[in-house]
């Protein structure tokens, strides 16, 4: 596998992976908000992450790399019905695309969230460490996506909602099918709930991080011998 800069360079050979509001920049191999996605994958170390929607796979690829870089490994469950175009229609090509960019640990499900929640794959998911919501950007759909997975979160789990800070018109589905991004309205609901903590990151098209208000149990303190190894042993 490439070192991180080499891997980013391979991503950005695909111009579409510099699009869609993640504040990426090719000239200095800058993942933009992708650094946050990568960092959360490394910090949380989830065995499974879920991504709902992606134009050309930027978020699932970044999370796949983060999980692969963890010693525990991990996989990405990617849900996208390919409504924008046919890019995610051919499963053999989809697998080859992800594998060519270091995402062999991505499994794609060609379904809406409403369809996916009726599947055996959904029923088998549990203790999800990270959910990234970037599908149809209406408040109604974001609400459905969020609650479909909130009950399956691990205690330290985080849900991230993209395109969540401002309203705006999107032409992604073509002429005559424009619609207004209003995920921010659902985020406002979450901000008024006593059950969730929220944090807006207003760069690119914006992303909001959400976790449960109640803190998970404190981790057990390391043994003295483990502390000594961590602190003093040369690496």
Residue 161: CATH number of its domain: 3.40.50.150
User: How many folded domains does the chain comprise?
Assistant: 1
Query: And the tokens for 48?
Result: 């499974």
In a domain, 107, yes or no: yes
Rounded Cα–Cα distance for residues 137 and 134 (Å): 7
Domain span at residue 129? 33-214
In a domain, 106, yes or no: yes
Q: Residue 21, Cα to own-chain centre: how many angstroms?
A: 14
With H, G, I as helix, E, B as strand and everything else as coil, classify residue 187. Answer: helix
Tokens 């395109």 sit on residue:
163
Rounded Cα–Cα distance for residues 60 and 135 (Å): 13
> 30, 80, 25: which is closest to 51 by C-alpha?
80
Query: And the tokens for 94?
Result: 């989809």
In a domain, 81, yes or no: yes
In a domain, 18, yes or no: no
pLDDT for 227: 54
In a domain, 180, yes or no: yes
In a domain, 62, yes or no: yes
Rounded Cα–Cα distance for residues 154 and 88 (Å): 28
In a domain, 176, yes or no: yes
For the chain, what is the radius of gyration of the CA atoms? 18
In a domain, 42, yes or no: yes
Instruction: Please say whether the beta carbons of 164 and 146 come within 8 A.
Output: no
User: Sheet containing 207-212: which strands, arranged edge to edge?
Assistant: 106-109, 75-79, 48-52, 128-133, 153-162, 207-212, 196-201
From first to last of its 235 residues, what are the pLDDT tens digits of the chain?
679 999 999 999 999 999 999 999 999 999 999 999 999 999 999 999 999 999 999 999 999 999 999 999 999 999 999 999 999 999 999 999 999 999 999 999 999 999 999 999 999 999 999 999 999 999 999 999 999 999 999 999 999 999 999 998 888 888 888 888 999 999 999 999 999 999 999 999 999 999 999 887 887 777 666 555 555 444 4
Tokens 């959400």 sit on residue:
210
- Report the number of secondary-structure helices (H) and strands (E) in the chain: 9, 9
């Amino acid at each position: 596998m490439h070192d991180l800069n080499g891997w980013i360079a391979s991503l950005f050979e695909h111009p579409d992976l510099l699009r869609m509001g993640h504040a990426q920049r090719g000239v200095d191999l800058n993942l933009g908000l992708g650094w946050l996605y990568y960092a959360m994958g490394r910090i949380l170390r989830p065995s499974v992450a879920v991504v709902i929607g992606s134009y050309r796979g930027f978020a699932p690829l970044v999370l796949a790399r983060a999980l692969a870089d963890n010693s525990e490994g991990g996989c990405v469950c990617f849900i996208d019905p390919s409504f924008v175009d046919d890019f995610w229609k051919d499963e053999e090509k989809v697998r080859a695309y992800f594998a060519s960019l270091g995402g062999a640990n991505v499994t794609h499900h060609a379904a809406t969230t409403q369809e996916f929640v009726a599947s055996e794959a959904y029923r088998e998911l549990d203790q999800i460490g990270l959910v990234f919501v970037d599908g149809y950007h209406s408040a109604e759909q974001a609400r459905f996506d969020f609650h479909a997975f909130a009950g399956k979160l691990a205690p330290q789990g985080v849900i991230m909602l993209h395109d969540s800070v401002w309203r705006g018109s999107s032409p992604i589905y073509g002429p005559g099918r424009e619609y207004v991004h209003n995920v921010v309205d659902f985020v406002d609901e979450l901000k008024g709930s006593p059950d969730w903590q929220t944090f807006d990151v207003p760069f690119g098209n914006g992303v909001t991080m959400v976790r449960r208000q109640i803190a998970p149990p404190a981790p057990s303190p390391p043994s003295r011998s483990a502390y000594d190894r961590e602190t003093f042993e040369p690496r």
